[in-house]
A = this chain, B = another copy of it.
Amino acid sequence: MIRIAVDAVGGDFFPQNPVQGAIEAVAENSELKIILVGPEDVCRKELERQGYTGDQIDVFHAPDIIAMDDAPAQAVKSKPQASIPVGLTLHAKKQCDGFVSAGNTGALLAASAFILGRLDGVIRPTISSVYPTTKGLGLMVDVGANLEVKPEMLYQFALMGEVYAREIMGIDTPRVGLLNVGEEEEKGTEVYRKAHELLKLHPRFVGNIEGRDILLGEADVYVCDGFTGNLLLKFGESIPAALQDLIQATIVRQNLPPESIKPVLGILKQALSPFDYQSVGGVPFLGVNGVSLVGHGGSSPLAIKNMIFNAARMVTHRVNDKIVSYLN
């Protein structure tokens, strides 16, 4: 039995989507126990509304709610009874095996680091994200937890990302690349040059990756500081909508019949499906002493379900044990 706590009041569509995701998850996996964390009446009403009558979902009362736009550190401090700190405290006390939320990423990161602590040997926990490429999904790490980094941190990001890519994303021998402004090892800032030196010892290090090689999937794990990673992550997320605008404008400009856009957008939508983060199901904080995943604020029930499954997989694959023994 794996017990995953789910933030029932996180994201843009609570309690509906977290609760529905939880119901769908237990329907598919009888070995799963879900603890919905949130105001008890809200959770119970929603379970009832969705007609759930089974015994795989419990509710744990957390009266407060951290809003998506609350200042993270302050929210965690001033709302200790909110679902995020309550759920993570349950986890720290071993009353569950992991916690997932589609809520305030910053608050979740701050609370995860504070309540769960770091894994042995980890300098700084990191947040990574799956990243679409023409060769399949890669992992970018860090995407915003550590805006300024040291070479040793980048090195650890690589190792932690590699374990996650292998154990959870199913990439047998993940290639590790260091984002940089040129291929040559002397390129980049001093931090990146030193990180390159450290990574050269890594058997699956494929060297520096330039901006033009990211989408082409020249690596599986893209290592960078959180400032760069955050900009690249959000930039990538914006591509489908931007393209749709550009195509729409082209069709108007060229005076093409409006119905001619349909097949184009249809194929484009298919082609861009890897950019649809909804189905991916959350990304992990790596390096914390526990299992803590965060999903997009707009997470669908499917995304919540997949995030729950990813959390469960992190438990069964003992990802944290593997990270600790890899780092030390």
User: What is A's interface to B at a CB cutoff of 8 Å?
Assistant: 133-134, 144, 147-148, 179, 181, 188-189, 192, 210-216, 226-228, 230-239, 241-243, 245-247, 249-251, 253-254, 256, 260-261, 263-264, 267-268, 270-272, 274
Beta-carbon contact of B234 and A212 below 8 Å: yes
Beta-carbon contact of B214 and A181 below 8 Å: no
Bound complex: CA of A13 vs CA of B234, how far in Å? 36
Bound complex: CA of A214 vs CA of B228, how far in Å? 14
- Within the complex, the shortest CB–CB distance from A202 to chain B, in Å, comes to 21
Chain B residues within an 8 Å CB radius of A148: 189
Chain B residues within an 8 Å CB radius of A179: 231
Known pairs A263-B264, A264-B268, A271-B243; A211 contacts B227 (CB<8 A): no
Bound complex: CA of A188 vs CA of B239, how far in Å? 23
Chain B residues within an 8 Å CB radius of A254: 270
Bound complex: CA of A65 vs CA of B110, how far in Å? 54
Beta-carbon contact of A246 and B147 below 8 Å: no
- Nearest residue in B to A186 (C-beta to C-beta)? B71
- Within the complex, the shortest CB–CB distance from A36 to chain B, in Å, comes to 29
- Nearest residue in B to A245 (C-beta to C-beta)? B134
Bound complex: CA of A238 vs CA of B192, how far in Å? 23
